[in-house]
Chains A and B, each alone.
Chain A
Amino acid sequence: MAMRLWQPLSLLAVMAIATLLFSLAVGSAQLSAAQLWAVMQGQGDALARTMVIDLRLPRALSAFAVGGLLAVAGALMQVLLRNPLADPYVLGLSGGASIGALAAMLAGVGGVLMSGSAFLGALLSTFLVFGLAHGSGGWTPSRLLLTGVVVAAGWGAVITLMLALSPAERLPGMLYWLMGDLSYARAPWPPLLLLLLTCIVLMPLGRSLNVLARGPQQAAALGVDVRPLEWGIYVAASLLTAAAVTTAGSIGFVGLVVPHLLRLLLGNDQRLILPACALAGGTLLVLADTLARTIIAPEQLPVGVITALLGVPTFLFLLYRSR
Protein backbone atom coordinates (compact mmCIF):
# COMPACT_ATOMS: atom_id res chain seq x y z
CA MET A 1 0.00 0.00 0.00
CA ALA A 2 2.70 2.45 1.01
CA MET A 3 4.70 1.27 -2.02
CA ARG A 4 1.87 2.44 -4.24
CA LEU A 5 2.53 5.96 -2.93
CA TRP A 6 6.32 5.96 -2.82
CA GLN A 7 7.03 4.59 -6.27
CA PRO A 8 5.44 7.39 -8.31
CA LEU A 9 6.56 10.01 -5.82
CA SER A 10 10.22 8.94 -5.97
CA LEU A 11 10.05 8.91 -9.75
CA LEU A 12 8.62 12.43 -9.75
CA ALA A 13 11.26 13.59 -7.26
CA VAL A 14 14.05 12.27 -9.48
CA MET A 15 12.51 14.06 -12.45
CA ALA A 16 12.27 17.25 -10.41
CA ILE A 17 15.94 17.14 -9.42
CA ALA A 18 17.04 16.34 -12.97
CA THR A 19 15.00 19.26 -14.31
CA LEU A 20 16.42 21.62 -11.70
CA LEU A 21 19.99 20.62 -12.63
CA PHE A 22 19.18 21.01 -16.31
CA SER A 23 17.84 24.51 -15.67
CA LEU A 24 21.03 25.46 -13.83
CA ALA A 25 23.20 24.29 -16.72
CA VAL A 26 21.45 25.81 -19.72
CA GLY A 27 20.79 29.40 -20.65
CA SER A 28 22.43 32.11 -22.67
CA ALA A 29 25.74 30.64 -21.47
CA GLN A 30 25.81 26.84 -21.31
CA LEU A 31 27.63 24.91 -18.59
CA SER A 32 28.89 21.36 -18.94
CA ALA A 33 28.08 18.79 -16.29
CA ALA A 34 31.65 19.05 -15.02
CA GLN A 35 31.45 22.84 -14.72
CA LEU A 36 28.13 22.59 -12.91
CA TRP A 37 29.58 20.01 -10.55
CA ALA A 38 32.53 22.28 -9.85
CA VAL A 39 30.23 25.21 -9.06
CA MET A 40 28.15 23.10 -6.69
CA GLN A 41 31.35 22.06 -4.91
CA GLY A 42 32.08 25.75 -4.39
CA GLN A 43 34.80 25.82 -7.06
CA GLY A 44 34.83 26.85 -10.71
CA ASP A 45 35.29 30.32 -12.09
CA ALA A 46 33.67 33.27 -10.38
CA LEU A 47 31.46 34.22 -13.32
CA ALA A 48 29.93 30.77 -13.60
CA ARG A 49 29.41 30.73 -9.86
CA THR A 50 27.62 34.07 -9.84
CA MET A 51 25.49 32.99 -12.78
CA VAL A 52 24.40 29.72 -11.19
CA ILE A 53 24.18 30.63 -7.51
CA ASP A 54 22.88 34.19 -7.75
CA LEU A 55 20.84 34.11 -10.93
CA ARG A 56 19.75 30.69 -12.07
CA LEU A 57 19.32 28.90 -8.74
CA PRO A 58 16.92 31.38 -7.09
CA ARG A 59 14.95 31.61 -10.28
CA ALA A 60 14.75 27.84 -10.75
CA LEU A 61 13.75 27.28 -7.13
CA SER A 62 11.14 30.03 -7.38
CA ALA A 63 9.76 28.43 -10.51
CA PHE A 64 9.60 25.08 -8.74
CA ALA A 65 7.82 26.57 -5.73
CA VAL A 66 5.33 28.53 -7.83
CA GLY A 67 4.54 25.56 -10.07
CA GLY A 68 4.04 23.33 -7.04
CA LEU A 69 1.85 25.87 -5.25
CA LEU A 70 -0.35 26.38 -8.29
CA ALA A 71 -0.78 22.67 -8.95
CA VAL A 72 -1.63 21.89 -5.31
CA ALA A 73 -4.02 24.86 -5.14
CA GLY A 74 -5.70 23.68 -8.35
CA ALA A 75 -6.11 20.14 -7.03
CA LEU A 76 -7.62 21.51 -3.80
CA MET A 77 -10.04 23.77 -5.64
CA GLN A 78 -11.18 20.87 -7.80
CA VAL A 79 -11.98 18.83 -4.69
CA LEU A 80 -13.62 21.76 -2.89
CA LEU A 81 -15.84 22.73 -5.80
CA ARG A 82 -16.20 19.15 -7.03
CA ASN A 83 -15.71 20.55 -10.47
CA PRO A 84 -13.00 19.37 -12.85
CA LEU A 85 -12.83 22.79 -14.50
CA ALA A 86 -11.79 24.57 -11.32
CA ASP A 87 -8.27 26.01 -11.18
CA PRO A 88 -6.48 28.26 -8.68
CA TYR A 89 -7.74 31.34 -10.47
CA VAL A 90 -11.35 30.26 -10.82
CA LEU A 91 -12.42 32.34 -7.84
CA GLY A 92 -11.05 35.56 -9.29
CA LEU A 93 -7.90 35.50 -7.24
CA SER A 94 -5.46 36.15 -10.06
CA GLY A 95 -7.59 39.04 -11.29
CA GLY A 96 -7.40 40.71 -7.89
CA ALA A 97 -3.65 40.12 -7.72
CA SER A 98 -3.17 41.44 -11.25
CA ILE A 99 -4.96 44.67 -10.43
CA GLY A 100 -2.79 45.13 -7.36
CA ALA A 101 0.37 44.52 -9.36
CA LEU A 102 -0.65 46.69 -12.33
CA ALA A 103 -1.66 49.54 -10.04
CA ALA A 104 1.78 49.37 -8.42
CA MET A 105 3.44 49.39 -11.85
CA LEU A 106 1.34 52.36 -12.92
CA ALA A 107 2.40 54.16 -9.76
CA GLY A 108 5.97 53.40 -10.76
CA VAL A 109 6.88 51.22 -7.79
CA GLY A 110 8.41 47.79 -8.07
CA GLY A 111 9.96 45.05 -5.98
CA VAL A 112 8.51 44.37 -2.55
CA LEU A 113 5.84 47.07 -2.84
CA MET A 114 4.53 45.55 -6.06
CA SER A 115 4.49 42.06 -4.54
CA GLY A 116 2.70 43.38 -1.50
CA SER A 117 0.16 45.14 -3.64
CA ALA A 118 -0.47 41.97 -5.65
CA PHE A 119 -0.88 39.95 -2.45
CA LEU A 120 -3.35 42.47 -1.08
CA GLY A 121 -5.30 42.35 -4.33
CA ALA A 122 -5.46 38.55 -4.14
CA LEU A 123 -6.70 38.58 -0.55
CA LEU A 124 -9.23 41.29 -1.31
CA SER A 125 -10.62 39.24 -4.17
CA THR A 126 -10.78 36.11 -2.00
CA PHE A 127 -12.78 37.86 0.72
CA LEU A 128 -15.01 39.56 -1.83
CA VAL A 129 -15.90 36.31 -3.57
CA PHE A 130 -16.40 34.42 -0.35
CA GLY A 131 -18.47 37.19 1.22
CA LEU A 132 -20.70 37.50 -1.82
CA ALA A 133 -21.09 33.73 -2.24
CA HIS A 134 -21.90 33.36 1.42
CA GLY A 135 -24.70 35.91 1.17
CA SER A 136 -27.41 35.53 3.77
CA GLY A 137 -27.38 31.73 3.86
CA GLY A 138 -24.58 29.21 3.54
CA TRP A 139 -22.40 28.88 0.51
CA THR A 140 -22.57 25.96 -1.86
CA PRO A 141 -19.86 24.95 -4.32
CA SER A 142 -21.91 25.96 -7.33
CA ARG A 143 -22.67 29.38 -5.84
CA LEU A 144 -19.02 29.92 -4.93
CA LEU A 145 -17.96 28.91 -8.43
CA LEU A 146 -20.45 31.19 -10.14
CA THR A 147 -19.56 34.14 -7.91
CA GLY A 148 -15.87 33.55 -8.60
CA VAL A 149 -16.33 33.36 -12.34
CA VAL A 150 -18.36 36.57 -12.43
CA VAL A 151 -15.93 38.45 -10.17
CA ALA A 152 -13.04 37.22 -12.34
CA ALA A 153 -14.82 38.54 -15.42
CA GLY A 154 -15.19 41.89 -13.67
CA TRP A 155 -11.48 41.98 -12.83
CA GLY A 156 -10.74 41.12 -16.48
CA ALA A 157 -12.58 44.22 -17.61
CA VAL A 158 -10.74 46.40 -15.09
CA ILE A 159 -7.39 44.96 -16.23
CA THR A 160 -8.16 45.73 -19.87
CA LEU A 161 -9.19 49.24 -18.85
CA MET A 162 -5.93 49.75 -16.97
CA LEU A 163 -3.90 48.48 -19.92
CA ALA A 164 -5.77 50.79 -22.29
CA LEU A 165 -5.08 53.80 -20.09
CA SER A 166 -1.41 52.98 -19.39
CA PRO A 167 1.49 54.82 -21.03
CA ALA A 168 2.98 52.79 -23.87
CA GLU A 169 6.41 52.35 -22.25
CA ARG A 170 4.93 50.50 -19.28
CA LEU A 171 2.86 48.09 -21.39
CA PRO A 172 5.46 45.33 -22.07
CA GLY A 173 6.24 44.89 -18.37
CA MET A 174 2.54 44.72 -17.54
CA LEU A 175 1.78 42.23 -20.28
CA TYR A 176 4.68 40.03 -19.16
CA TRP A 177 3.41 40.09 -15.60
CA LEU A 178 -0.05 39.07 -16.76
CA MET A 179 1.40 36.11 -18.69
CA GLY A 180 3.66 35.16 -15.78
CA ASP A 181 7.25 36.24 -15.38
CA LEU A 182 9.90 34.76 -13.13
CA SER A 183 12.72 37.16 -13.95
CA TYR A 184 12.11 39.18 -10.79
CA ALA A 185 11.78 36.16 -8.51
CA ARG A 186 14.76 36.44 -6.20
CA ALA A 187 13.50 35.05 -2.92
CA PRO A 188 12.57 31.39 -3.43
CA TRP A 189 12.55 30.36 0.22
CA PRO A 190 9.18 31.73 1.42
CA PRO A 191 7.14 30.02 -1.31
CA LEU A 192 9.24 26.84 -1.05
CA LEU A 193 8.69 26.65 2.69
CA LEU A 194 4.99 27.30 2.21
CA LEU A 195 4.84 24.46 -0.33
CA LEU A 196 6.64 22.05 1.99
CA LEU A 197 4.48 23.04 4.96
CA THR A 198 1.31 22.61 2.91
CA CYS A 199 2.30 19.14 1.80
CA ILE A 200 3.05 18.09 5.37
CA VAL A 201 -0.27 19.46 6.64
CA LEU A 202 -2.29 18.00 3.75
CA MET A 203 -0.86 14.47 3.83
CA PRO A 204 -2.89 13.28 6.84
CA LEU A 205 -6.02 15.01 5.47
CA GLY A 206 -5.77 13.18 2.14
CA ARG A 207 -8.23 10.45 3.00
CA SER A 208 -10.77 12.97 4.30
CA LEU A 209 -10.42 14.84 1.01
CA ASN A 210 -11.06 11.58 -0.87
CA VAL A 211 -14.30 11.20 1.06
CA LEU A 212 -15.22 14.86 0.64
CA ALA A 213 -14.86 14.50 -3.14
CA ARG A 214 -17.93 12.23 -2.95
CA GLY A 215 -20.09 15.03 -1.63
CA PRO A 216 -20.53 16.70 1.74
CA GLN A 217 -23.34 14.49 3.00
CA GLN A 218 -21.57 11.25 2.20
CA ALA A 219 -18.45 12.69 3.83
CA ALA A 220 -20.33 13.74 6.96
CA ALA A 221 -21.95 10.31 7.19
CA LEU A 222 -18.46 8.77 7.12
CA GLY A 223 -17.20 10.90 9.98
CA VAL A 224 -15.70 13.95 8.26
CA ASP A 225 -16.26 17.36 9.85
CA VAL A 226 -17.23 18.87 6.54
CA ARG A 227 -17.48 22.60 7.26
CA PRO A 228 -14.07 23.03 8.95
CA LEU A 229 -12.44 20.95 6.25
CA GLU A 230 -14.04 22.97 3.43
CA TRP A 231 -13.03 26.22 5.10
CA GLY A 232 -9.51 24.93 5.55
CA ILE A 233 -9.21 23.96 1.89
CA TYR A 234 -10.56 27.30 0.77
CA VAL A 235 -8.18 29.31 2.92
CA ALA A 236 -5.22 27.10 2.05
CA ALA A 237 -5.84 27.16 -1.69
CA SER A 238 -6.31 30.94 -1.65
CA LEU A 239 -3.12 31.48 0.34
CA LEU A 240 -1.09 29.19 -1.93
CA THR A 241 -2.38 30.91 -5.04
CA ALA A 242 -1.76 34.36 -3.60
CA ALA A 243 1.82 33.38 -2.76
CA ALA A 244 2.36 31.99 -6.27
CA VAL A 245 0.84 34.97 -8.05
CA THR A 246 2.83 37.37 -5.89
CA THR A 247 6.07 35.59 -6.79
CA ALA A 248 5.62 35.17 -10.51
CA GLY A 249 2.50 36.83 -11.87
CA SER A 250 -0.48 34.88 -13.11
CA ILE A 251 0.82 31.78 -14.81
CA GLY A 252 -2.07 29.97 -16.34
CA PHE A 253 -2.66 26.32 -16.98
CA VAL A 254 -0.39 24.67 -14.37
CA GLY A 255 -3.12 24.56 -11.77
CA LEU A 256 -5.70 23.12 -14.15
CA VAL A 257 -3.66 20.68 -16.16
CA VAL A 258 -1.16 19.18 -13.71
CA PRO A 259 -3.77 17.74 -11.29
CA HIS A 260 -5.77 16.26 -14.17
CA LEU A 261 -2.72 14.87 -15.85
CA LEU A 262 -1.71 13.13 -12.63
CA ARG A 263 -5.26 11.89 -12.02
CA LEU A 264 -5.28 10.32 -15.47
CA LEU A 265 -1.95 8.63 -14.77
CA LEU A 266 -2.15 7.82 -11.05
CA GLY A 267 -5.83 7.62 -10.13
CA ASN A 268 -7.70 9.74 -7.66
CA ASP A 269 -6.23 9.21 -4.23
CA GLN A 270 -5.54 12.71 -2.86
CA ARG A 271 -2.86 11.28 -0.56
CA LEU A 272 -0.88 10.57 -3.71
CA ILE A 273 -2.17 13.35 -5.95
CA LEU A 274 -1.36 16.29 -3.68
CA PRO A 275 2.37 15.62 -3.14
CA ALA A 276 2.60 14.47 -6.75
CA CYS A 277 1.10 17.82 -7.80
CA ALA A 278 3.75 19.67 -5.78
CA LEU A 279 6.53 17.76 -7.53
CA ALA A 280 5.10 17.64 -11.04
CA GLY A 281 3.81 21.22 -11.01
CA GLY A 282 7.21 22.42 -9.87
CA THR A 283 8.98 20.35 -12.50
CA LEU A 284 6.73 21.59 -15.29
CA LEU A 285 7.26 25.22 -14.39
CA VAL A 286 11.05 24.86 -14.04
CA LEU A 287 11.13 23.25 -17.45
CA ALA A 288 8.86 25.89 -18.97
CA ASP A 289 10.85 28.73 -17.45
CA THR A 290 14.13 27.24 -18.67
CA LEU A 291 12.72 27.06 -22.19
CA ALA A 292 11.27 30.56 -21.84
CA ARG A 293 14.69 32.03 -21.18
CA THR A 294 16.66 29.91 -23.68
CA ILE A 295 14.59 29.58 -26.86
CA ILE A 296 15.28 33.09 -28.07
CA ALA A 297 18.10 33.92 -25.59
CA PRO A 298 19.13 36.49 -24.51
CA GLU A 299 15.52 37.62 -25.02
CA GLN A 300 12.88 35.93 -22.85
CA LEU A 301 9.38 34.63 -23.53
CA PRO A 302 6.52 34.84 -21.02
CA VAL A 303 6.56 31.54 -19.16
CA GLY A 304 2.76 31.25 -19.29
CA VAL A 305 3.01 30.85 -23.05
CA ILE A 306 5.36 27.91 -22.64
CA THR A 307 3.30 26.16 -19.96
CA ALA A 308 0.29 26.35 -22.26
CA LEU A 309 2.24 25.19 -25.32
CA LEU A 310 3.67 22.23 -23.39
CA GLY A 311 0.57 21.45 -21.39
CA VAL A 312 -2.19 21.65 -23.97
CA PRO A 313 -1.01 18.91 -26.33
CA THR A 314 0.12 16.60 -23.50
CA PHE A 315 -3.18 16.98 -21.72
CA LEU A 316 -5.28 16.51 -24.85
CA PHE A 317 -3.29 13.42 -25.79
CA LEU A 318 -3.78 11.82 -22.37
CA LEU A 319 -7.45 12.74 -22.30
CA TYR A 320 -7.92 11.28 -25.78
CA ARG A 321 -6.29 8.02 -24.70
CA SER A 322 -8.08 7.69 -21.36
CA ARG A 323 -11.11 5.50 -20.98
Chain B
Amino acid sequence: MSRLITQDLIINVPDRCDGTALNIALEPGQIWGVLGPNGAGKTTLLHTLAGLNAPRSGHVLLDDQPLETLRRRKIAQILGMVFQERLDGFPATVLETALIGRHPYLSLWQMEGADDYAQAESALEQLDVAHLRHRLVSTLSGGERQRVAVATVLTQAPGIWLADEPTNHLDLHHQSAVMALMAQQAAQGSAIMMCLHDLNLAARWCDHILLLYPSGEACWGPRDSMLVPSALERLYQQRLATVEVNGAPVFVPVS
Protein backbone atom coordinates (compact mmCIF):
# COMPACT_ATOMS: atom_id res chain seq x y z
CA MET B 1 0.00 0.00 0.00
CA SER B 2 1.61 3.21 -1.13
CA ARG B 3 0.51 6.77 -1.45
CA LEU B 4 1.72 9.66 -3.52
CA ILE B 5 1.32 13.22 -2.25
CA THR B 6 2.12 16.50 -3.96
CA GLN B 7 3.00 19.58 -1.93
CA ASP B 8 2.49 22.90 -3.72
CA LEU B 9 3.62 21.20 -6.91
CA ILE B 10 4.09 23.30 -10.04
CA ILE B 11 4.97 21.25 -13.07
CA ASN B 12 7.51 22.62 -15.49
CA VAL B 13 5.73 23.25 -18.79
CA PRO B 14 7.98 25.57 -20.85
CA ASP B 15 6.74 29.12 -21.46
CA ARG B 16 3.77 28.84 -19.15
CA CYS B 17 3.02 30.72 -15.99
CA ASP B 18 2.82 28.76 -12.77
CA GLY B 19 -0.95 28.44 -12.48
CA THR B 20 -2.46 26.42 -9.66
CA ALA B 21 -0.13 24.69 -7.21
CA LEU B 22 -1.19 21.06 -6.89
CA ASN B 23 -1.87 19.56 -3.45
CA ILE B 24 -3.12 16.12 -4.27
CA ALA B 25 -3.13 12.91 -2.27
CA LEU B 26 -3.27 9.74 -4.34
CA GLU B 27 -4.35 7.12 -1.82
CA PRO B 28 -4.44 3.31 -2.07
CA GLY B 29 -7.59 2.10 -3.78
CA GLN B 30 -8.25 5.38 -5.59
CA ILE B 31 -8.46 5.79 -9.36
CA TRP B 32 -7.73 9.30 -10.55
CA GLY B 33 -8.46 10.51 -14.05
CA VAL B 34 -6.50 13.46 -15.42
CA LEU B 35 -8.45 15.35 -18.08
CA GLY B 36 -7.39 18.26 -20.20
CA PRO B 37 -6.95 19.37 -23.80
CA ASN B 38 -3.79 18.69 -25.80
CA GLY B 39 -0.78 20.44 -24.36
CA ALA B 40 -2.34 21.06 -20.96
CA GLY B 41 0.56 19.23 -19.31
CA LYS B 42 -1.03 15.85 -18.53
CA THR B 43 2.02 13.85 -19.60
CA THR B 44 4.39 16.32 -17.92
CA LEU B 45 2.39 15.92 -14.72
CA LEU B 46 2.67 12.12 -14.78
CA HIS B 47 6.39 12.30 -15.58
CA THR B 48 6.89 14.73 -12.71
CA LEU B 49 5.01 12.43 -10.34
CA ALA B 50 7.24 9.56 -11.49
CA GLY B 51 10.38 11.62 -10.86
CA LEU B 52 11.32 11.66 -14.54
CA ASN B 53 10.84 15.44 -14.86
CA ALA B 54 11.94 17.93 -12.24
CA PRO B 55 9.12 20.13 -10.94
CA ARG B 56 9.39 23.90 -11.26
CA SER B 57 8.67 24.09 -7.55
CA GLY B 58 7.10 22.04 -4.80
CA HIS B 59 7.57 18.42 -3.87
CA VAL B 60 6.31 14.95 -4.62
CA LEU B 61 6.25 12.60 -1.63
CA LEU B 62 6.24 8.86 -2.15
CA ASP B 63 5.22 7.18 1.11
CA ASP B 64 6.11 10.42 2.92
CA GLN B 65 9.62 10.64 1.46
CA PRO B 66 10.58 13.29 -1.09
CA LEU B 67 10.91 11.62 -4.49
CA GLU B 68 14.27 13.24 -5.24
CA THR B 69 15.86 11.63 -2.19
CA LEU B 70 14.92 8.10 -3.25
CA ARG B 71 16.99 5.88 -5.51
CA ARG B 72 15.47 5.14 -8.93
CA ARG B 73 15.49 1.44 -8.19
CA LYS B 74 13.53 1.97 -4.97
CA ILE B 75 11.02 4.19 -6.79
CA ALA B 76 10.60 1.58 -9.52
CA GLN B 77 9.67 -1.04 -6.93
CA ILE B 78 6.73 1.11 -5.86
CA LEU B 79 5.74 3.15 -8.87
CA GLY B 80 5.07 1.92 -12.40
CA MET B 81 4.52 4.04 -15.50
CA VAL B 82 2.67 3.20 -18.71
CA PHE B 83 4.16 5.52 -21.31
CA GLN B 84 2.22 7.04 -24.14
CA GLU B 85 5.15 6.78 -26.52
CA ARG B 86 7.58 3.92 -26.77
CA LEU B 87 10.87 3.47 -28.56
CA ASP B 88 11.41 0.18 -30.28
CA GLY B 89 15.18 0.26 -30.11
CA PHE B 90 16.33 -3.23 -30.86
CA PRO B 91 14.03 -6.09 -31.80
CA ALA B 92 12.60 -7.84 -28.74
CA THR B 93 9.91 -10.43 -28.26
CA VAL B 94 6.69 -9.81 -26.34
CA LEU B 95 7.82 -12.06 -23.48
CA GLU B 96 11.22 -10.33 -23.20
CA THR B 97 9.43 -6.98 -23.14
CA ALA B 98 7.13 -8.01 -20.31
CA LEU B 99 10.06 -9.50 -18.39
CA ILE B 100 11.87 -6.16 -18.09
CA GLY B 101 9.15 -5.29 -15.59
CA ARG B 102 11.10 -7.48 -13.16
CA HIS B 103 14.23 -5.35 -13.55
CA PRO B 104 13.77 -3.30 -10.35
CA TYR B 105 13.61 -6.45 -8.24
CA LEU B 106 16.66 -8.31 -9.55
CA SER B 107 20.17 -7.78 -8.23
CA LEU B 108 23.09 -7.12 -10.57
CA TRP B 109 24.19 -10.71 -11.06
CA GLN B 110 20.76 -12.25 -10.83
CA MET B 111 19.07 -13.79 -13.86
CA GLU B 112 15.28 -13.90 -14.20
CA GLY B 113 14.02 -17.00 -12.43
CA ALA B 114 10.95 -19.20 -12.85
CA ASP B 115 8.90 -16.85 -10.66
CA ASP B 116 9.71 -13.87 -12.85
CA TYR B 117 8.74 -15.79 -15.97
CA ALA B 118 5.52 -16.92 -14.32
CA GLN B 119 4.64 -13.34 -13.44
CA ALA B 120 5.33 -12.11 -16.96
CA GLU B 121 3.33 -14.97 -18.49
CA SER B 122 0.41 -14.28 -16.18
CA ALA B 123 0.47 -10.57 -17.06
CA LEU B 124 0.48 -11.37 -20.79
CA GLU B 125 -2.40 -13.77 -20.15
CA GLN B 126 -4.43 -11.05 -18.39
CA LEU B 127 -3.86 -8.59 -21.21
CA ASP B 128 -4.85 -11.20 -23.78
CA VAL B 129 -1.47 -11.16 -25.58
CA ALA B 130 0.00 -14.45 -24.28
CA HIS B 131 -0.47 -16.07 -27.69
CA LEU B 132 1.92 -13.45 -29.11
CA ARG B 133 4.70 -14.15 -26.58
CA HIS B 134 7.32 -15.13 -29.15
CA ARG B 135 6.43 -12.45 -31.71
CA LEU B 136 8.67 -9.42 -32.12
CA VAL B 137 7.02 -6.34 -30.62
CA SER B 138 7.78 -4.38 -33.78
CA THR B 139 5.50 -6.71 -35.77
CA LEU B 140 2.45 -6.11 -33.54
CA SER B 141 -0.45 -3.75 -34.15
CA GLY B 142 -0.71 -0.51 -32.16
CA GLY B 143 -3.35 -1.91 -29.83
CA GLU B 144 -1.40 -5.10 -29.21
CA ARG B 145 1.70 -3.08 -28.36
CA GLN B 146 -0.32 -0.97 -25.97
CA ARG B 147 -1.49 -4.11 -24.19
CA VAL B 148 2.11 -5.38 -24.01
CA ALA B 149 3.11 -2.07 -22.40
CA VAL B 150 0.37 -2.44 -19.78
CA ALA B 151 1.42 -6.07 -19.25
CA THR B 152 5.02 -4.90 -18.61
CA VAL B 153 3.84 -2.63 -15.79
CA LEU B 154 1.57 -5.38 -14.48
CA THR B 155 4.69 -7.60 -14.34
CA GLN B 156 6.38 -4.80 -12.41
CA ALA B 157 3.45 -5.05 -9.95
CA PRO B 158 3.72 -1.51 -8.57
CA GLY B 159 1.66 -0.13 -5.72
CA ILE B 160 1.17 3.09 -7.69
CA TRP B 161 0.25 3.12 -11.38
CA LEU B 162 0.76 6.20 -13.50
CA ALA B 163 -0.76 5.49 -16.89
CA ASP B 164 -0.56 7.92 -19.79
CA GLU B 165 -3.61 7.22 -21.94
CA PRO B 166 -3.62 3.48 -21.24
CA THR B 167 -6.51 2.94 -23.65
CA ASN B 168 -4.72 4.46 -26.66
CA HIS B 169 -5.12 2.40 -29.84
CA LEU B 170 -7.36 -0.12 -28.08
CA ASP B 171 -10.60 -1.45 -29.50
CA LEU B 172 -13.77 -1.03 -27.40
CA HIS B 173 -13.54 -4.43 -25.79
CA HIS B 174 -9.92 -4.04 -24.79
CA GLN B 175 -10.53 -0.48 -23.55
CA SER B 176 -13.02 -1.89 -21.10
CA ALA B 177 -10.74 -4.80 -20.28
CA VAL B 178 -7.81 -2.52 -19.44
CA MET B 179 -10.00 -0.22 -17.34
CA ALA B 180 -11.42 -3.24 -15.52
CA LEU B 181 -7.85 -4.38 -14.86
CA MET B 182 -7.06 -0.96 -13.38
CA ALA B 183 -10.17 -1.18 -11.19
CA GLN B 184 -9.09 -4.65 -10.07
CA GLN B 185 -5.61 -3.35 -9.19
CA ALA B 186 -7.17 -0.51 -7.22
CA ALA B 187 -9.46 -2.94 -5.41
CA GLN B 188 -6.33 -4.85 -4.37
CA GLY B 189 -4.86 -1.68 -2.85
CA SER B 190 -3.01 0.01 -5.70
CA ALA B 191 -3.32 3.74 -6.27
CA ILE B 192 -3.92 4.68 -9.89
CA MET B 193 -3.69 7.89 -11.83
CA MET B 194 -4.26 8.02 -15.57
CA CYS B 195 -4.54 10.58 -18.30
CA LEU B 196 -7.60 10.07 -20.43
CA HIS B 197 -9.18 11.71 -23.43
CA ASP B 198 -12.38 9.75 -23.16
CA LEU B 199 -14.73 11.51 -20.73
CA ASN B 200 -17.03 8.54 -20.64
CA LEU B 201 -14.30 6.14 -19.56
CA ALA B 202 -13.38 8.64 -16.85
CA ALA B 203 -17.01 8.89 -15.76
CA ARG B 204 -17.41 5.14 -15.69
CA TRP B 205 -14.13 4.06 -14.01
CA CYS B 206 -12.50 6.93 -12.09
CA ASP B 207 -13.44 8.00 -8.58
CA HIS B 208 -11.40 11.22 -8.59
CA ILE B 209 -10.82 13.69 -11.39
CA LEU B 210 -8.14 16.31 -11.98
CA LEU B 211 -8.90 18.93 -14.62
CA LEU B 212 -5.82 20.56 -16.16
CA TYR B 213 -6.30 23.77 -18.14
CA PRO B 214 -3.81 24.95 -20.76
CA SER B 215 -3.28 28.10 -18.67
CA GLY B 216 -1.86 26.02 -15.83
CA GLU B 217 -4.99 26.32 -13.72
CA ALA B 218 -6.22 23.09 -12.24
CA CYS B 219 -9.00 21.77 -10.05
CA TRP B 220 -9.57 18.35 -8.59
CA GLY B 221 -11.95 16.40 -6.42
CA PRO B 222 -14.36 13.45 -6.34
CA ARG B 223 -15.73 12.50 -9.74
CA ASP B 224 -19.30 13.67 -9.36
CA SER B 225 -18.29 17.16 -8.30
CA MET B 226 -15.84 17.50 -11.20
CA LEU B 227 -17.64 16.01 -14.20
CA VAL B 228 -20.00 18.94 -14.58
CA PRO B 229 -20.89 19.83 -18.17
CA SER B 230 -20.12 23.53 -17.76
CA ALA B 231 -16.62 22.84 -16.36
CA LEU B 232 -15.90 20.30 -19.10
CA GLU B 233 -17.13 22.66 -21.81
CA ARG B 234 -14.77 25.32 -20.53
CA LEU B 235 -11.94 22.76 -20.30
CA TYR B 236 -12.20 21.59 -23.88
CA GLN B 237 -13.72 24.77 -25.42
CA GLN B 238 -16.32 22.42 -26.84
CA ARG B 239 -20.08 22.25 -26.38
CA LEU B 240 -21.27 18.99 -24.91
CA ALA B 241 -24.59 17.22 -24.72
CA THR B 242 -25.18 15.00 -21.69
CA VAL B 243 -27.42 11.96 -21.74
CA GLU B 244 -27.93 9.44 -19.02
CA VAL B 245 -27.33 5.73 -19.69
CA ASN B 246 -27.91 3.23 -16.88
CA GLY B 247 -27.72 6.04 -14.35
CA ALA B 248 -24.31 7.33 -15.48
CA PRO B 249 -23.75 10.50 -17.52
CA VAL B 250 -22.51 10.14 -21.09
CA PHE B 251 -20.94 13.16 -22.74
CA VAL B 252 -21.24 13.72 -26.45
CA PRO B 253 -19.65 16.65 -28.30
CA VAL B 254 -22.10 18.73 -30.33
CA SER B 255 -21.22 21.37 -32.85
Contact = CB atoms under 8 A, between A and B. Distances in A.
A161 interface: no
A323 interface: yes
Interface in A216-246: 217-218, 220-225
Contact of A222 (B90, B96, B100): B100
A225 B136 contact: no
A207 interface: yes
Given A1-B111, A220-B72, A221-B81, A207 B103 contact: yes
Interface in B73-91: 73-77, 79-81, 83, 86-87, 89-91
B42 to A, nearest CB: 15
- Interface size on B, as a range, is 35 or more
Contacts of B156: 222
Contacts of A222: 76, 100-101, 103-104, 156
Given A211-B103, A218-B87, A263-B90, A223 B75 contact: yes
B79 to A, nearest CB: 8
A222 B136 CA distance: 21
B233 interface: no
A218 B104 CA distance: 12
B158 to A, nearest CB: 10
Given A2-B111, A268-B92, A214 B103 contact: no
Contacts of A271: 111
A214 B76 contact: no
A184 B104 CA distance: 47
Contacts of A5: 111
Main secondary structure of the interface of A (DSSP, over half): helix
Counting chain B CB atoms within 10 Å of each CB, the highest count among A211, A223, A224 belongs to: A223
Contacts of B112: 1
Interface in B55-78: 71-77
B72 A223 contact: yes
Contacts of B50: 221
A2 B71 CA distance: 29
A217 B83 contact: yes
B113 interface: yes
Contact of B96 (A204, A218, A268): A268
A268 to B, nearest CB: 5
Given A218-B87, A263-B90, A204 B100 contact: no
Contacts of A53: none
A210 B100 contact: yes
Interface in B141-173: 156
A84 B87 CA distance: 13
Contacts of A220: 51-52, 72
Contacts of A21: none
A214 B111 contact: no
A186 interface: no
Interface in A132-180: none
Given A207-B106, A224-B103, A213 B90 contact: yes
A78 B90 CA distance: 9
B72 A224 contact: yes
B131 to A, nearest CB: 18
Contacts of B245: none
A111 interface: no
Nearest to A263: B90
A218 B86 contact: yes
Contacts of B113: 1
Interface in A292-313: none
B121 to A, nearest CB: 14
Contacts of B71: 223, 225
Interface in B106-159: 106, 108-109, 111-113, 136, 156
Given A79-B90, A220-B72, A221-B81, 20 more contacts: A2-B111, A205-B108, A207-B103, A207-B106, A213-B89, A214-B87, A215-B86, A215-B89, A217-B47, A218-B87, A221-B76, A221-B79, A221-B80, A222-B101, A223-B72, A223-B76, A223-B77, A267-B96, A268-B90, A269-B96
Interface of A: 1-2, 5, 78-79, 82, 84, 203-205, 207-208, 210-211, 213-215, 217-218, 220-225, 263, 267-269, 271, 323
- 10 tightest CB-CB pairs across the interface, nearest first? A223-B76, A204-B108, A215-B87, A223-B73, A223-B104, A221-B81, A213-B89, A222-B103, A268-B90, A1-B111
Interface of B: 47, 50-52, 71-77, 79-81, 83, 86-87, 89-93, 96, 100-101, 103-104, 106, 108-109, 111-113, 136, 156
11 contacts: A204-B109, A207-B106, A222-B103, A223-B73, A224-B72, A225-B72, A263-B90, A263-B91, A268-B90, A268-B92, A269-B96
